[in-house]
Amino acid sequence: MTRSPLLRLVFGTLRRLLYLWVRSETINQSSFTLDLDRSRPVFYVLQNPSLTDLAVVDTECSKAGLPRPVLPVSVGNLMEPAAFFYLTPEPDWLGRQDKRGAPPTLTRLVSALSQNAAENAQIIPVSVFWGQSPDSESSPWKLLFADSWAVTGRLRRLLSIIVLGRKTRVQFSAPIHLRELIDHNKGHERTVRMAQRILRVHFRNLKAAVIGPDISHRRNLVKGLLNQPLVKQAILDEAERENISPEKAKAQALRYGNEIASDYTYTAIRFLEVVLSWFWNKIYDGIKVNHIEGVQKVAQGHEVIYVPCHRSHIDYLLLSYLLFRNGLTPPHVAAGINLNMPVIGSLLRRGGAFFMRRTFKGNPLYTSVFNEYLHTLFTKGFPVEYFVEGGRSRTGRMLQPKTGMLAITLRSFLRSSRMPIVFIPVYIGYERVLEGRTYLGELRGASKKKESIFDIFKVVGALKQRFGQVAVNFGEPIKLAQFLDSEQPDWREQELGPQFKPAWLNETTNRLGKKVAQHLNEAAAINPVNLVALALLSTSRLALDDRAMARVLDLYLALLRKVPYSPHTTLPEGDGRALIDHVKDMDLLSEQSDALGKILYLDEQNAVLMTYYRNNVLHIFALPALLASFFQSASRMSREQILRYIRALYPYLQAELFIRWSLEELDVVTDQWLEAFVEQGLLRFENDVYLRPAPSSRHFVLLTLLSKSIAQTLQRFYMTVSLLLNSGQNSISAEELEDLCTVMAQRLSILHGLNAPEFFDKSLFRHFIQTMLDLDVLKRDEAGKLGYHELLGELAEGAAKRVLPAEIRLSIRQVALHRSEDAADQVAVPAKTD
């Protein structure tokens, strides 16, 4: 571009003609938030010569208020006719192109800055994507039109503009300060080459992050799996084991590969984007995305594995949609084979889903093919998504991680660590889940229904309801190499064997699963429904005066702002009154008026459903609720007493709820919460002792409500220990204790009117028992019976007196005693004989 008025007129005309059809947008917010020094000159660099790309960049710069690339700019005594250049030099009149040469503008800039130490120039790499998809050779149509790794000719670019011009996306990257490179004092030529190399690497990594790596045809990919050494050996083993020919075993492996592999196509991605855009706008009031900037940064140069929480069937659709809309490649998503239904399964497969069976047990050939397929995706750098919880959470809690996929990932990385792997936790917070009514039935004891294609009509029927907002929070990334360095510092030098299964694999995978779960909980999106559920379910009648409710919600918000759970946790906007109005508008909260004002309450159906939303954030309130529990039975406690009981009970809460703080951090965090309690009037601090408010005061009511949110968890702990103690040393197995606890919890829920189905969730008892085994509080004898520490009863009773009311402890002991007597009677009565 020159300062010639004629050429500028021609370029302006071309740009206006182009935008009669083309529509462009930036695919991140960096164009508006670039850390630019406006007093310094700005240059834009595009990877390849393209007048249409330049026109699009010029338009987006004008929209964003950035300096335009086609206008002249001065650097010291150097005057450049335009503020852009191409990394690959433009061809001459005969179409010849010297790719080894340096861009003349870059060469002149380095010379000018070398002669004037006070000057600087900012170079912004810019990429233009006509459409957005991975380069799959299965679609000739896509090879013609969509952006890919192939060299783009004029005809192909023209067709791209015609077919994909309505979906043009521009990526502005962080500026490179040329002065920093020159200050290395490498000389003119080496500085120019260093700048070129940095820009080449940047464009290559960015292209892989946005349109995906260069992958081959699905059919060739699946056939290629069968030629890998581990799969070839598995085929031979299968032939020998099943007494069939190797050809038949190979054909079976091929069928497995076709059953598993996705068939990623751009057409399906664009179709899903259009449909889902309508769907989200129709059903939700908005989708809030937080902390995605960190993902956009780490995606370049890493194999990204998204590990979202699993609350709804639409989780993976929502995540893929948001990634695509924000300029990141939609991942290949692990889906259960139950979703491979007619029509739906085919669409999901083309949208990136690959299917896996619920169990691999007893099928080593399938296992080998599946592992090799994932290894291929990982090593090619294609993003992958799977749910560490395995299935959807029906209770709203974070489920115990299923470590199968994590173990496959670890083994793949040990086999080849050339492509660094990073896990991205993604918390998806719904104010109302689509499957809410289904979960309601399952929470009440109904069996899980098998998925059906006709379920889609249920979704259509749900469109009449209001579902509020959805928040998608991206958590702190976990770099696998760094994690392994902390767990197994010498993992790179170890001999791992042909199967890449070191002795420490299972234990390390379990710790990785817990770390992922903790990072997911750190990224929690707290919404109005969560807080209203937490408040009302803590009352005995599931009701509160509307002014009292507003005070409770304001207190929760104030506490969370004073002691943030995590930098990645988000809070709702507005005060307590605004939160109440929002939940009422969603028909989740009932209201009754009398002469004294309004009473807000939960009807029977919503009361059960709201336990789901309370459980979403229970991990955030567990520690302050435990502190509040101490002052239900004690009017005063010293810091040392508080810390002693906190340290005793916290490990069990942390294990069940995946709370982020380590034992080493616990004292500091407890002090922060105590300070917040004092600031809010929930406690007083006098003469080195913490004092509770007067029992008749408003602040004591608030303190009591806060304590109730964790009460049922503490009751389950006490119940388990009581049953174990009544059974005696080495007289009951973990499985038998688990069953007893479940039956006893169901009885107590009826006796005390507990409207929380997870109170008798067998998996929670199983995990608590396992935690006591892990902490060496319990031990198994040779027969599998449980023995316990001789001081367990004394310690448990002492802690229970601090956190549970006397009537609850008495009721639990009575039911436990009667259950033990019933068991003894059953043993004493001789069996009938025929």
pLDDT in tens, 422-432: 999 999 999 99
CB-based contact 87:196 (threshold 8 Å): yes
Provide the residue ranges of all domains of the chain, joining segments of one domain with +: 5-211, 218-522, 711-828
pLDDT at 753: 66
Task: Return all residues near 459 (Cβ < 8 A) that are at least 6 apart.
Answer: 434
Gyration radius from the chain CA atoms: 31
CA-to-CA dists, residue 198 to 123, 186, 194, 332, 369, angstroms: 11, 15, 6, 29, 38
- 122: amino acid identity, one letter: Q
d(CA 23, CA 168): 6
pLDDT of 509 strictly over 70: yes
pLDDT of 43 strictly over 60: yes
Of the segments 23-32, 318-327, 478-487, 597-606, which one has the largest average pLDDT value? 478-487
pTM for the complete prediction? Answer: 0.78
Q: What is the mean pLDDT of residues 113-139?
A: 73
pLDDT of 237 strictly over 90: yes
CB-based contact 654:626 (threshold 8 Å): no
DSSP letters spanning 697-746: SHHHHHHHHHHHTTHHHHHHHHHHHHHHHHH-TT-SBHHHHHHHHHHHHH
CB-based contact 537:614 (threshold 8 Å): yes
Helix (H) or strand (E) holding 170: strand 168-172
Q: Report residue 277's pLDDT band, with 50, 70 and 90 as the boundaries.
A: confident
Helix 246-260 vs helix 218-225: crossing angle, to nearest 10? 140
Q: What is the mean pLDDT of residues 343-354?
A: 87
Per DSSP bridges, beta strands 122-130 and 176-177 are antiparallel
pLDDT at 690: 97
Q: What is the mean pLDDT of residues 121-147?
A: 60
| 347 class by beta-carbon count within 10 Å (0-12 exposed, 13-18 middle, 19+ buried) | middle
Per DSSP bridges, beta strands 168-172 and 122-130 are antiparallel
pLDDT of 632 strictly over 60: yes
pLDDT in tens, 244-275: 999 999 999 999 999 999 988 766 777 788 88
Q: Report residue 151's pLDDT band, with 50, 70 and 90 as the boundaries.
A: very low
Q: What is the mean pLDDT of residues 223-231?
A: 91
Q: How far apart are the first and last CA of the chain?
A: 104
DSSP letters spanning 361-417: TT-HHHHHHHHHHHHHHHHHT--EE--TTSS--SSSSPPPPP-HHHHHHHHHHHH--
Q: Report residue 135's pLDDT band, with 50, 70 and 90 as the boundaries.
A: very low
Q: Report residue 157's pLDDT band, with 50, 70 and 90 as the boundaries.
A: low
Share above pLDDT 90 across residues of the chain, in percent, rounded to a whole number:
51
d(CA 345, CA 487): 39
Share above pLDDT 70 across residues of the chain, in percent, rounded to a whole number:
86
DSSP letters spanning 615-669: HHTHHHHHHHHHHHHHHHH-SEEEHHHHHHHHHHHHHHHHHHHT-S--HHHHHHH
Whose tokens are 């709370």? That residue is 659
Q: What is the mean pLDDT of residues 486-502?
A: 87
Q: What is the mean pLDDT of residues 147-161?
A: 57
CB-based contact 401:513 (threshold 8 Å): yes
Whose tokens are 């509040």? That residue is 628
pLDDT of 99 strictly over 70: no
pLDDT of 451 strictly over 80: no
d(CA 69, CA 500): 52
d(CA 339, CA 349): 10
Q: Would you mind telling me the total number of residues written for the chain in this entry?
A: 834
Residue 375 C-alpha from the chain's centroid: 22
Q: Report residue 143's pLDDT band, with 50, 70 and 90 as the boundaries.
A: very low
pLDDT at 91: 63
pLDDT of 7 strictly over 80: no
* 3-class DSSP string for 191-231: HHHHHHHHHHHHHHHHHHHHHCCCCCCHHHHHHHHCCCHHH
d(CA 542, CA 611): 11
pLDDT of 289 strictly over 70: yes
d(CA 232, CA 498): 13
CB-based contact 583:528 (threshold 8 Å): yes
Q: What is the mean pLDDT of residues 43-48?
A: 92
d(CA 568, CA 474): 7
**In terms of Cα–Cα distance, which of 168, 166, 66 is closest to 124?**
66
CB-based contact 167:132 (threshold 8 Å): yes
Backbone torsion region of residue 654, taken as left when φ is above 0, otherwise alpha when ψ lies between -120 and 50, otherwise beta: alpha
d(CA 625, CA 621): 6
Structure tokens at 113: 């800055």
Please tell me the CATH code under which domain 218-522 is placed: 3.40.1130.10
pLDDT of 454 strictly over 50: no
Burial 195-213 (b: 16+ CB within 10 A, else e): bbeebeebbeebbbbbbbb
Residue 573 C-alpha from the chain's centroid: 22
CA-to-CA dists, residue 217 to 178, 256, 261, 671, angstroms: 41, 17, 11, 58
